[in-house]
A and B are shown apart, each in its own frame.
Chain A
Amino acid sequence: MTDTHPPVEPKRRTLAHRLTIGLLWTVLTPLLILPIVAIFVFAGRGGWWSFWNTILLPEAQFALRLSLMIALWTSLANAVVGTFTAYVLSKHRFLGRGPLSILVNLPVAIPTVVMGTSLILLWGPIGLLGRYLVPLGFRPIFAPFGIFLAHVLVTFPYMLGAVKPVLDELEITYEEAAYTMGAGRFRTFVHVMLPALKGGLFSGTLLTFAHSLGEFGATAMVSGNLRMKTQTAPLFIFAQFEAGQIETANAVAAVLAVLSFSIFLFLLRFTSRPAREGP
């Protein structure tokens, strides 16, 4: 394949050009760049030694580990449930399909605090289901499982958004080809659909992971913010900040920022690779 686009002539370095670029930097520096810098500046104020000690605090360690575990389980759960939902919504026609496809995307539109509240009203001691389940010993609210439920709910649309477009594009004939060659539904899914979904699944999982890692609103409602029990990293940062421990807060914030940043870079590389390869 040859490139059919005519080469674009680079803009000449006129005064207008320089002004435009300057303006862009002036606007974006306070809005986007300095906030990120600030975290690292404050986190490193006491020097490496103090940063390291802060990170090793048992509370900080617990919060970071809890956040990572929750993010991991949330991504796994949504990889399965999200893919299943995407598959059914994309390949089947049934009553209520239209409303359902809107409903599953709703969690992005509704404030996370509201989503958290709704979970309490469902699973809490006086909730719709909770009033029957709590006496039986099922107490997800103010427990890590509740956080997991909240994260699955809040991040659900990300996996769907990454996988469903791929499925929509994938014509039914690929499945049918496998059927005519003797492959059943399960084998067709494993050998034909899943490989085609690889890219979407991967970026969906990473997106979910990143969002879960930083989730605050719903977590704050559902977790009860119990130290060493249900306090995730974002909640820990907020608590420390409120208590005036700005450096501790910033140290953990810096770790979160680095984690998210690496995921983001990875995602960027991964998603841009096929485009570079060309058809």
Chain B
Amino acid sequence: MSIVLDHVSKRFGAHVALDEVSLEVADSELFVLLGGSGSGKSTALRIIAGLTRPDEGRILLQGERVDHLPPQKRGVGFVFQNYSLFQHMTVGRNIEFGMRIHKVPHAERLRRREELLNLIGLEGMADRLPRRLSGGQQQRVAVARALAYQPAVLLMDEPFGALDVRTRSQLRRSLKEVQQKLKVTTILVTHDQEEAFELADRIGILERGHLVEVGPPASLYRRPKTELVARFLGDANLLVGEIRGGRLHVGESILTLPAEAPQVTGSLEVKVLIRPEELEVRPRGASIDGKGLGLGKILETLQAGPVLRMKVGVPSLRGTPILSPEPVFGQAEPTLIAHALPEIGELPVLVPGAPVQLAVRNLHVIPHEGGSLLVCIDGSELAGRSLDFAARVAAQMHGRMEILGVAEKPNEETRAREGLSAALQGYSSEFPSLKTRLRAGNAGDRILEELDRGVYDMVVLGCRGRHGPARSMGSTTGKVVMQSRVPILIVPEARRSLKKILICMASGVSGRSDVIFAGRLAGRAGAQATLLHVMEGDQPGLPGAAPDPRTTEYLRELTTERLARGILTLKLMGVPSEMKVRQGVAAAEILEEARSGDYDLIALGALEPPRSEDSDGRALIDVVLEHARRPVLIVPAPQEKGT
């Protein structure tokens, strides 16, 4: 192994850049670390080069530990995103720099310089100054310079980031050639999937400091082990299906179970990945190769180069949870995406509105964890109750939970430890994989850090203030509600089970993300949902003024339409639902409805993070929490998509 990272961690203050990353790169392999910004990929590279010190873990280069060595002694070539060519030196002197430092004799230096210039196709440019070269040429000089003193490994940090698309693809090819010719072990860091697929022998996907999955590009794309990778690489149709009697049931269809799928005796819920190009879309009546998924209708088309991208409505999937493409608020029909290379004759037929038949050529099955809950406890009676409720919800969702105890002061550690071990005893029979963690420090900070690991679907807070069931948001809860990007379930008083959910559309920005999340939760837990909208009587800012009847009428229509779209969304997820409209003050009406309908959960949308302390949303959440006497779910607005 040329490069080995062994449980390498690095924090910058509270931010965890790398969390126990282990990685082995074989000799002369081209390994690509793929991840979004802030995923820790550059940090990993700098740690290998010795430019950043890891907090924990070991680094081995060519089988030798190098943790204690400065960058000068590690024998790595590094290509920076800005190339960092020395501007006052000619191209030749730049390439020779490393060799001069290593005291390579003059003749040898010249020979290797010319060799490298030939290799990168810049013969005769040795006397140019870097600033006289184009970006692509500079980039190639940077590669040559890093290779000149024959380092054991080559590290490249987004080497094509600053170039235009055409130059980029040219350079990728020439880099691959150079790398194969010199057989130098290379790690390249990028956020560009296309680049990763084109260059890599193997790809490692980094997400928030975790190395999620490693493998050859094709198998990562076709057979990812996790939902995250399935979504991260390319487009995906991701549905929940069930393996029963050796067959794969998705909605009303029965699909062929791939050979590598787990062998199940009873039944098992799984995630089914169908890549858009594996979804066959044919006009009705035409012959079809794959296994049938029933009939559908083309909703949208987009000709992207030779590929026809389609959105297809598939009514037979109603009630089947579709994880990707994510349902949009108000969407009436289950929708999948398909990419096709249609024949000329088919083109006039594959248009929006056209009825089609659908089939699946290939699919892949991913284990379905059924949601993962982080439960925070402090060992108090209240925490015990919320843990109880969380366990019921997790069980109903066929999900997992992890329990986090935080000791804010040293003397609280014993109590927290006792609480955790009691919890472990009480629930490990029901959740065999149950894990507990004890952390010290500010509870809010530790909880947010834990959530930052990005593996939880929901956080359950039991610790509401130090002094028993405090009747307002404690500082911990307040902090988490303000900053979490994961939905928060707060349990002032537990319920027996999760059967009825009240989804409030009066609060938050759009109320859309909470309808979708609460709908998914209801779907998983087999609960029913009520959509509530509260019409606030007086117009805010015009106290006492009688509302214009036309305005009221317009608002009512608008509300009804929004509610109807919400109901559609819930139906799509297979959740039995109804809608209600109330008139009055939002918080009061929500509480009244919750009490009279005896709901098990109130779902509220929250403002976008970072949410400000004094917003209306916060005030509403405060009031509802204070008086609800039942679990409250706070769903943050969706974070921006992408990397």
Residue numbers of A with Cβ under 8 A of B are: 171, 173-174, 176-184, 187, 191-192, 195-196, 198, 279
Contacts and interface: CB of A to CB of B under 8 A. Distances in A.
Contacts of A187: 101
Contact of A181 (B87, B88, B89, B149): B149
Given A177-B78, A179-B51, A184 B84 contact: no
Interface in B39-75: 49-51, 70-74
A148 B145 CA distance: 46
B86 A195 contact: yes
28 contacts: A171-B82, A173-B84, A174-B86, A176-B71, A176-B78, A176-B80, A176-B84, A177-B84, A177-B86, A178-B97, A179-B50, A179-B70, A180-B50, A180-B146, A181-B97, A181-B98, A181-B101, A181-B146, A182-B73, A182-B98, A182-B102, A187-B101, A191-B97, A192-B86, A195-B86, A196-B86, A196-B88, A279-B131
Q: Which 5 A-B pairs have the closest CB atoms?
A: A181-B98, A195-B88, A180-B78, A177-B84, A179-B71
Contact of B76 (A171, A178, A180, A184): A180
Interface string B308-350: 0000000000000000000000000000000000000000000
B508 interface: no
Contacts of A279: 131
Interface-centre pick from A174, A178, A180, A198 (highest chain B CB count, 10 A): A180
Contacts of B355: none
Contact of B72 (A171, A183, A192, A198): A183
A182 B51 CA distance: 12
Contacts of B89: 195
A195 B98 CA distance: 17
Contacts of A176: 49, 51, 71, 78, 80, 84
Contacts of A196: 86-88
Q: What is the interface of chain A mostly: helix, strand, loop, or mixed? A: helix
B296 interface: no
B487 interface: no
Contacts, number: 64
A174 B149 CA distance: 17
Nearest to B46: A176
B574 interface: no
A147 B230 CA distance: 74
B88 A179 contact: no
B566 interface: no
Interface size class of B (residues with CB under 8 A): 20 to 34
A55 to B, nearest CB: 42
B72 A174 contact: no
Contacts of A180: 49-51, 71-72, 74, 76-78, 146
Interface-centre pick from B71, B84, B87, B101 (highest chain A CB count, 10 A): B84
Contacts of A181: 77, 97-98, 101, 145-146, 149
Nearest to A181: B98
Nearest to B157: A173
A1 to B, nearest CB: 11
Interface-centre pick from B50, B74, B101, B102 (highest chain A CB count, 10 A): B101
B156 to A, nearest CB: 12
B230 to A, nearest CB: 35
Nearest to A175: B84
A181 B131 CA distance: 21
A177 B80 contact: yes
Nearest to B87: A196
Nearest to A177: B84
B78 to A, nearest CB: 4
Contacts of B145: 177, 181
Given A192-B86, A195-B88, 4 more contacts: A173-B82, A177-B84, A179-B50, A179-B51
Interface in B89-138: 89, 97-98, 101-102, 131
B97 A184 contact: no
A180 B154 CA distance: 11
A182 B149 CA distance: 9
A43 B454 CA distance: 81
